[in-house]
Amino acid sequence: MRYAGVESAMYSPSALGKQLQINAAVADVVKELPPWVRHIRYDIAQDWSGQLAIFFRVLLSDEASKTGRLRDVTTRVVWRMSEKLDLPDLGLFPHFNFRSESEQAKLNEPAWV
C-alpha cells in the first residue's frame, strides 16, 4: 500500500510521530469494509483556513456507491476512522472525500491510485 503525504516540514511533530498509527488505522478500516472500500489514501496539509488537516481519499466499489448503500458505507468509514484515530490529539482536522471506481476510471487522477 502507498500512502501519500506532503513535505515533512508541513507535518506537526505529533502527526509525524503518529504516522504509523494512521497507516495502521487506514489498513484496518480497509480490511473491515470489503468489498465496499477498495483503498484509502491520505495527505496531511493545511486546509483552507490554515489549520493542519488530514485529507482522506476513499475509493469505493461501484456497488457501494449506489444510492441505497452510499450513505451507510461513507458513514461507516468516517465512524471507523474516527474511532481508530484520535485526530484532535494528532492536531489534525479530518476531511473525507469519496469516489467510486467508475468515477476514478473516468477522471484518472494519480492521487487516487
What is the residue-level pLDDT of the chain in tens, covering all 113 positions?
Answer: 333 444 344 555 554 567 888 999 999 999 999 999 999 999 989 999 999 899 999 999 999 998 889 999 999 999 999 999 988 888 889 999 999 999 999 999 999 99
Residues 24-33: tens digit of each pLDDT? 999 999 999 9
Share in percent of the chain as helix, strand, coil (round to 5): 50, 25, 30
Percent of the chain at pLDDT exceeding 90: 69
Domains, the chain, with CATH or none = 8-112 (3.30.70.1350)
CA atoms within 13 A on the CB side of 67: 0
96: which 3 cell numbers?
Answer: 473525507
Give the pLDDT score at 16.
Answer: 59
HEC per residue, 44-94:
EEECCCCCEEEEEEEEECCCCCCHHHHHHHHHHHHHHHHHHCCHHHHCCEE
